[in-house]
A and B are shown apart, each in its own frame.
Chain A
Amino acid sequence: SQTIHQWPATLVQPVGSPLSLECTVEGTSNPNLYWYRQAAGRGLQLLFYSVGIGQISSEVPQNLSASRPQDRQFILSSKKLLLSDSGFYLCALKGQGTEAFFGQGTRLTVV
């Protein structure tokens, strides 16, 4: 079965510091991978999606970037965090079926 590993679960970072969140998946090959953000009191906003290695599409302009160095690895990064980057970040995959499956999320607090 498909599983998603996302870490860390919580992270507190100072403004201006770099960020790297990692997501790895198992049990599927060539999945579509997604990064979502849930800001306080808001829904799920799609940040990036990837249909394959090295293929990244950005949905909204922002301070973040994403990379997919391997088929089952999706990384969310920032060179300098802003206060507004605080939120709950979710990695998701879409395999052979039509549903997306989510990881457990990372709670990022920028201070």
Chain B
Amino acid sequence: GAVVSQHPSRVICKSGTSVKIECRSLDFQATTMFWYRQFPKKSLMLMATSNEGSKATYEQGVEKDKFLINHASLTLSTLTVTSAHPEDSSFYICSAAPSGSSYNEQFFGPGTRLTVL
């Protein structure tokens, strides 16, 4: 149980294009999902908290117009990197927190490697 998937696992795009990454909770519902960015050999940097049916909450320094987040259902959140540039190249990881759980677990997806040429 508690499986989170991400799609695609890898994407290479040209500078200036937009890329959409999907995060799905496969066997549970998740009112809240999180998007992280991870640089090589570094810890996870929280970008935003995504709540189903409402606007995402972005961390300080994260451009909400560049990293568009949509959480339209209890099992799906998407991150769209708009007008991508080489500096957006990174490993993007989502996590999901089971709805209604009295615990606080977050389960992570396998990550998406974005390379912007």
Genuine A/B complex: no
Q: Which residues of A contact B (CB under 8 A)?
A: none
